[in-house]
Amino acid sequence: MREGLRSAFAGYRPHNIREPVGQLVKSMISSRTKDEVSLRAYQNLTKRYRRWSDLAKASVAEIERSISSVTYANDKASYVRDALGLIARDHPDFDLSFLRELSVPEALAWLQALPGVGRKVAASTLNFSTLAMPAFVVDTHVLRVLIRFGVVGARADIEAANEAVMAAVPHWTAFELSEFHVLTKRLGQLSCRFDDPSCSECPLKTHCRFAGSAAMARTAACPPDFRTAR
């Protein structure tokens, strides 16, 4: 999968640019929201609140106004405020670099104990931030591709998919896992779409179970004389 995706979507560059707490907040407001929309919301938030301590003390209504363009803005505002409040109790400087001293499972568990933080947000915080820890990030696009390709079962959720990939490639670096996430997500957005998959355009179609099943279904639906002519 990785080699096929690399050939199809060349030019990936690492994006570990935010400090861990910044990536945590960015990931918390990003779910079920387009990347460009959540990025603008995050920029609005950090422009209004220059210090994380200020954001932790802000009201939910104030935070919601800054991120009003994202889905479930009220819930996310509440989670962000509460999560930062808990972090401030033991880490008033909001420095999460101590997570690098933990194993990946331990760091994931610490983050997932925060309000509103699931496996995707926790893995994003570890992998996409300056921590650059080897944690695979699974969103809805990535999960769909993994299911259709047969990496995980049809009923797998984000956490199960995360664990399956991590178990399959335990030697992969944070960079390689980040790259695989980005390229797989791009495939899910461009051709392996939810409601209108374009299997003919997929660079992985030769080895994809879903594409093979779709091709067989199309062949079976053709009139016998048409199949013979082909």
What pLDDT digit, counting tens, does each position of 32-47 carry?
899 999 999 999 999 9
Inform me whether the pLDDT recorded for 169 exceeds 90.
Answer: yes
- Buried b / exposed e across 94-111, counting CB within 10 Å, b at 16+? bebeebeeeebeebbebb
Residue 10 confidence (pLDDT): 84
Q: How many other C-beta atoms can be found within 10 angstroms of the C-beta atom of residue 198?
A: 12
Does residue 49 form part of some domain?
Answer: yes
Strand partners, 129: 18
Residue 219 confidence (pLDDT): 47
Name the region of 146 (left: φ>0; alpha: ψ -120 to 50; beta: rest). Answer: alpha
Q: How far apart are CA 99 and CA 73, in angstroms?
A: 28
Per DSSP, 100 falls in state G
Residue 225 confidence (pLDDT): 46
Of 74, 94, 128, the last residue of a domain is 128
Nearest C-alpha neighbor of 91 from the set 19, 174, 42: 19
Q: Is 204 helix (H, G, I), strand (E, B) or coil?
A: coil
- Indicate whether 33 and 97 sit together in one domain: yes
Q: What is the mean pLDDT of the chain?
A: 91
* Local confidence band at 214 (pLDDT 50, 70, 90 cut-offs): low
Contacts of 49 (CB under 8 A, 6+ apart): 55, 58, 66
**What does pTM read for this prediction?**
0.89
Of 97, 128, 159, the last residue of a domain is 128
Lowest mean pLDDT among 35-44, 145-154, 158-167, 219-228: 219-228
Does residue 70 form part of some domain?
Answer: yes
CATH code where residue 30 lies? 1.10.340.30
Does residue 44 form part of some domain?
Answer: yes
- Indicate whether 100 and 155 sit together in one domain: no
Boundaries of domain holding 122: 20-128
Q: How far apart are CA 72 and CA 217, in angstroms?
A: 39
Of 84, 99, 128, the last residue of a domain is 128
Do 66 and 44 meet the contact criterion of CB atoms below 8 Å apart? yes
**Domains in the chain: how many in total?**
2
What are 13-35's pLDDT values in tens digits?
777 789 999 999 999 999 989 99
CATH code where residue 209 lies? 1.10.1670.10
- What are 177's two structure tokens? 């896992």
- Indicate whether 181 and 123 sit together in one domain: no
Does residue 14 form part of some domain?
Answer: no
Q: How far apart are CA 5 and CA 208, in angstroms?
A: 13
- Indicate whether 48 and 115 sit together in one domain: yes
Inform me whether the pLDDT recorded for 70 exceeds 80.
Answer: yes
Q: What is the CA radius of gyration of the chain?
A: 20
- Indicate whether 64 and 143 sit together in one domain: no
Does residue 13 form part of some domain?
Answer: no
- Indicate whether 158 and 119 sit together in one domain: no
- Indicate whether 201 and 156 sit together in one domain: yes
Does residue 215 form part of some domain?
Answer: yes
Q: Is 103 helix (H, G, I), strand (E, B) or coil?
A: coil
Do 1 and 183 meet the contact criterion of CB atoms below 8 Å apart? no
Report CA dihedral (206, 207, 208, 211) to the nearest 10 degrees. Answer: 20
- What are 178's two structure tokens? 């980040």
